[in-house]
Amino acid sequence: MLTRRNFVLSLTALAGVGPALACPAPKADGTSHGILMLNADCGDPGNPNVFEPAILHINTGDSVTFVPTDAGHNSASKRGMIPDGAEPWNGAIDERLTIEFNVPGIYGHICVPHYEWGMVGLIVVGQDLSNLKAAKKVRHPGSARKVFRSLLKELEA
């Protein structure tokens, strides 16, 4: 018998599964790539406010489109975490923003409203990791510190 309590429990269970089923794959066609801006990790709905993928490897000259899949997010480069000579960016909230990456190296990017909560990511252009040491020295608030540390360790592995 379907009681009100069982109905609510069923909806709660489905809410946890929904995001995992609804996340589209980021666009990638060889020179154009996509990063989704999401309210929750596709594979772990308990992990809120993420970029998917968290680390993206591309070639020099490729472009990346930040896709506002869920509302309330943006993408901005993180000062001190982009290569010398690279142009910083700061997209508006809910803006679909495309950036062309012409300078090799590591680019840290953040969602300004959710930065302190750990909504951060890395783009690696080419094989050049020469700014890794500088990127590791940048200080971050809250959960961003832990997430960036983990992503940078993953690059070193």
Q: What per-residue confidence (pLDDT) applies to 110?
A: 98
Six-digit token pair at 86?
A: 């690279």
In the chain, the largest separation of any two C-alpha atoms, in whole Å, equals 66
Q: What per-residue confidence (pLDDT) applies to 7?
A: 33
Q: What per-residue confidence (pLDDT) applies to 28?
A: 66
Output the domain CATH number for residue 19.
2.60.40.420
Q: What per-residue confidence (pLDDT) applies to 41?
A: 87
Q: What per-residue confidence (pLDDT) applies to 144?
A: 98
Sheet holding 63-67, edge to edge: 48-52, 32-40, 63-67, 97-100
pLDDT (tens place) for every residue of the chain, 157 residues total: 443 333 333 333 334 433 444 566 666 677 999 999 999 988 888 889 999 999 999 999 999 999 999 999 999 999 999 999 999 999 999 999 999 999 999 999 999 999 999 999 999 999 999 999 999 999 999 999 999 999 999 998 8
Q: Which domain holds residue 88?
A: 4-156
Task: Say how many domains are in the chain.
Answer: 1
Quick check: helix, strand or coil at residue 15? Answer: helix
Stated length of the chain = 157
Distances (CA, A) of 44 to 13, 18, 77, 117, 120: 13, 11, 25, 16, 16
Q: What per-residue confidence (pLDDT) applies to 15?
A: 40
Confirm whether pTM is higher than 0.85: no
Dihedral (CA of 30, 106, 54, 93) sign: negative
**Surface-to-core class of residue 45, CB atoms within 10 Å of its CB (0-12 exposed, 13-18 middle, 19+ buried):** middle
Q: What per-residue confidence (pLDDT) applies to 47?
A: 87
Rg (CA), the chain: 17
